[in-house]
Amino acid sequence: MNIKFILDENMPFALVEFLRNKGYEAEHLKKLGKGGIKNGEVYKVAEEKDAWILTRDSDFKSYHKFVTHPIKGIIVLTLSDTRTQNLLNVVGQFLETQNDKLSSKRLIFIEEGEIKIYDDSEVK
């Protein structure tokens, strides 16, 4: 399974290399020259790249927008400790324990001590 990630501009650049070292494809919006684009454009980039969106922007928690865009999925990190090393640890642990959740379209919230996972068939 070839999983690709588009990292929103609020994610550290170090996460790109971290994901690549784990065997994933990863690109950062700023490195693509897309820094400062609106969220609707982020969805379009993810559609074009057939990729998951990885972000800390709570605007991506919208279930309606999630189901109306043909993207792979969205992972939203809502953590109080936003230091790069913590983000790498949290994403790494998620990928080690929940990698199977990336096999189909899902909206995933990684929050303090809990992970919430929704798929596109759930009614909200």
What the block records as the tokens of 14 is 């170090």
Asked if residue 54 belongs to a domain, the reply is yes
DSSP for 27-45, please give it.
EETTTTT-TT--HHHHHHH
Q: Rounded to whole angstroms, how far apart are CA atoms 56 and 9?
A: 9
Tens digit of each residue's pLDDT (9 = 90 or more) over 68-114: 899 999 999 999 999 999 999 999 999 999 999 999 999 999 998 89
Question: Is 60 exceeded by the pLDDT of residue 123?
Answer: no
Number of compact structural domains in the chain: 1
**Helix boundaries (H) for the chain:** 14-21, 39-49, 63-68, 84-98
CATH number at residue 90: 3.40.50
State the pairing for strand pair 114-119/106-111. Answer: antiparallel
Identify the pLDDT of residue 124. 44
- Domain extent for 37: 4-119
Asked if residue 124 belongs to a domain, the reply is no
